[in-house]
A = this chain, B = another copy of it.
Amino acid sequence: MSYKYLILGMLSENPMSGYDIKKVVKQALGGITSASYGTLYPTLHKLLEEGCVSMQEIPQRTRPSKKVYHITDRGREELREWLKQPASTDQVRREFLLKLYLAHNLEPKDVQIMLAMRRAETEQTVREVLADKARQTGEKSWLADYTLAMCEAELNWLTDFESRYKPL
């Protein structure tokens, strides 16, 4: 995904510390990506060297200094260039589908369990996303809508699959 641009993207909205970036990413983009400190901090250091961000250290009595990063003109330019490039193809790993593909090694009972669990998980996701959406009151719900569309499509597919599988 190139975390470089994820970080620049976050900083294009607001100056933030590494700690902040993680929170914001989780809250706003939790469904599509994540950012761990092990990647975040080293990448910020690299961006500083490259001149894509500037840093302002704010001392605090009780805690480590807060380092607030600002995107620079250079960083904005690089971000824009990247955004214009065609997006790389989706990388999707659904272990569930692999297991279903190999289901002939299991007893029918276990396959039923697998399908039921998948359904329950997907329904759970729908509930969570709906709750999130309600909390955000309107604006920028398109990401939530995307997830919901995928979940609904999968639930329909599951129904279809089950009706074909049961008779076997």
Point out residues on A near B: beta carbons under 8 Å: 1, 5-6, 9, 12-13, 28-29, 32-33, 76, 79-80, 83-84, 86-106, 110, 114, 117-118, 121, 142-143, 145-146, 149-150, 152-154, 156-157, 160-161, 164
Contacts and interface: CB of A to CB of B under 8 A. Distances in A.
Contacts of A83: 99, 102-103, 105-106, 110
Given A9-B98, A12-B104, A100-B142, 7 more contacts: A1-B95, A6-B98, A12-B102, A33-B98, A83-B99, A90-B95, A142-B164
Q: What is the total number of copies of this protein in its complex? A: 2
A63 to B, nearest CB: 30
10 nearest A-B pairs in the assembled complex, by CB-CB distance: A153-B153, A87-B96, A9-B102, A87-B95, A91-B93, A149-B153, A149-B157, A90-B94, A32-B97, A88-B95
